[in-house]
Amino acid sequence: MGSPAPIKDPTMPAPVLGPGQTYTTVTQRLSAIITSRTPLGWIAALLIAGGILQLLMLSATWLLIKGTGIWGLNIPVGWGWAIINFVWWIGIGHAGTLISAILLLMRQQWRNSINRFAEAMTIFAVMCAGMFPLLHTGRPWVAAYWLLPYPNTMSVWPQFRSPLIWDVFAVGTYFTVSLIFWYLGLIPDFATLRDKAKHKISQIIYGVLSMGWRGSAKHWFNYEMAALLLAGVSTPLVLSVHSIVSLDFSVGLIPGWHATIFPPYFVAGAVYAGFAMVLTLGLPIRYFYGLHDYITDRHLNNMGKVMLATGLIVAYGYLMEQFFAWYSASPYEGYMMQNRTFGPYSGTYWSLILCNVAIPQLLWIKRVRLSPIWLFIISMFINVGMWLERFIIVVTSLHRDFMPSSWDMYHSTPWDWGLYAGTIGFFLFMMILFIRVMPVINIFEIRQLVANKNRGEHAETASADD
C-alpha cells in the first residue's frame, strides 16, 4: 500500500532482540551457558538451595512419623497451610502455559526468550503444589488408592460431584501437557547441544534426548504442527486448572468462599503470581548470565503490563467481594467481610491489599516497568501478596463461621514453615540444575527471530502486539 509520509512513532516498542545478533552469536552465546566450565557462583547457589531442600526432607519425614497433628490445623480451621501452599504453587505454575500456549496462538514474538524457563518453572511449581495434598493424606504412598477412580470389589468410588476429585484430573492433565510441551520445545535445542558437546557422555545423553533430530524440513513441519496442536490443547487448561481450584472453595457454603466471581478471579490471580515469579527468577538469570540482548526492555515492559492488568482484575475481585458482601444483606456475608477487614486477621488483610493492590500500581509508570530493580521489588511483593490472599481466603473464612461457639484462632507451627520453605528450596534447586543442563532460552526460536530480522520483516511490529 502507498503509505503516507513516515512518521516517527513515540509509541513504537523496543525490539525483542538486541542489536548485532547473528545465527552464530545466538548459538554460541546461549549454548555456552551449558558447555562452559561450571561457574563457582552456580555451585554456591546450588548448595544453598540444596540446604533449604533438606528442610523439606526433614519436615516431610517428621510429618509421616507423627501425622498432621504437627501442623497448626484445628477445628474449625481444618484446611491450613497445606491448601494455601498448594494454591500458591499452582498459581505460580500458570505463567508457563500462558506464555507458551496463549501467546503462541496470539503470535506474540516476545514470548520466545522467556517461554523456556517459564515452562520449566511451571513444571517444578506444579510438583511443589502436588506435594501438599499428597502429604496431607498422611500416607502418600497409598494416595493413588484414594484419589483415582478404579473399579474395585467394594464398589467404592470417589465423590465425582466434589471439585477435589476434579482437581486430581485437572492438575494431572496440566502437569502432563506442560511436560510434553516443554520437552517438545527442547528437542531441537537438545540436537544443538548434542552437536556442540565435547564430552562423550554428554554427547550420548543429549543425543538420546534429541530423539534423532536432524533438522530436516519434514522434522520442522512435524514440530510446528505438534506445537500448534499442543498450544490449542493447553489454552483451555490455563483457564480450567485454577477455575477448578477456585471451585474447591466456591461450591462450599462458607461465607467468603461461596462467590461466583471466584473462577475468573482465581485465574487472573494465578497469571499475576506466575508472571511475578517469572520476573523473580528471570531478572537474576538475565543479570548473572548477561542475557540483556535476549531478555530486552520490551520483555520487561510487556511483563509489567501483564502484571498490571491481571493485578487490576484481582483488585476488581476484592472490590466485588466487599461490595456484594454488603449488598447481599446476608448477616453471615456481612460479618465475614467485617471480620476479614477489621477482625483479628485485619493486619494480614491490609498487608495483602498493600502487596497486591497498592504497590503494583507503580507499574502504570513506564520507567518502573523498564527498571529491573523496581520490577524485582514489585514482583517480590506480589509473591508475598498472593500467598497472603490464599491465607485470607482459607483462614478468615473458616476460623469464624456460622456458630460462634466453635470459633477459634489459627496458629502455624515451625513444621508448617519448614515444609513450605522446603518446597521453595526444592523449586530453586531444580531451577538451578535446569539452568546448567538445559538451554534456559530457546535457541532455535531466537535464531528464528534473527532470520525474520534478516528478511527485513519487522517481526516485532508485524503481529498483534504488546
Sites of contact with another protein (CB under 8 A)? 1-12, 161, 239, 243, 247, 250-253, 258-264, 309, 312, 316-317, 319-321, 324, 327-330, 364, 456-458, 461-466
Residue appearing with cell numbers 456460622: 402
* Residue closer to another protein (CB basis): 1 or 65: 1
Cβ atoms < 10 Å from Cβ of 244: 22
Shortest Å, Cβ 191 to another protein: 31
Distance CA(209)–CA(428), nearest Å, equals 23
* Residue closer to another protein (CB basis): 204 or 319: 319
Residue 192 phi/psi, 5° resolution?
-60, -45
Shortest Å, Cβ 451 to another protein: 15
At 423, list the grid cell: 518446597
Shortest Å, Cβ 457 to another protein: 5
* Residue closer to another protein (CB basis): 207 or 264: 264
Distance CA(328)–CA(337), nearest Å, equals 12
Query: Distance from first CA to last CA of the chain, Å, rounded?
Result: 24
* Residue closer to another protein (CB basis): 293 or 321: 321
Distance CA(375)–CA(304), nearest Å, equals 7
At 271, list the grid cell: 497469571
At 234, list the grid cell: 493447553
Nearest to 137 by CA among 86, 202, 189, 77: 86
At 123, list the grid cell: 513444571
Shortest Å, Cβ 310 to another protein: 12
Shortest Å, Cβ 238 to another protein: 11
* Residue closer to another protein (CB basis): 27 or 246: 246
Shortest Å, Cβ 316 to another protein: 6
Task: Check if the beta carbon of residue 308 is closer than 8 Å to that of residue 358.
Answer: no
Distance CA(265)–CA(246), nearest Å, equals 9
* Residue closer to another protein (CB basis): 119 or 460: 460
* Residue closer to another protein (CB basis): 45 or 315: 315
Residue 260 phi/psi, 5° resolution?
-70, -20
* Residue closer to another protein (CB basis): 5 or 65: 5
Distance CA(433)–CA(216), nearest Å, equals 31
Distance CA(383)–CA(275), nearest Å, equals 10
At 186, list the grid cell: 527442547
Distance CA(159)–CA(248), nearest Å, equals 13
* Residue closer to another protein (CB basis): 286 or 369: 369
Shortest Å, Cβ 244 to another protein: 10
Task: Check if the beta carbon of residue 416 is closer than 8 Å to that of residue 81.
Answer: yes
Shortest Å, Cβ 417 to another protein: 33
Distance CA(315)–CA(272), nearest Å, equals 11
Shortest Å, Cβ 58 to another protein: 40
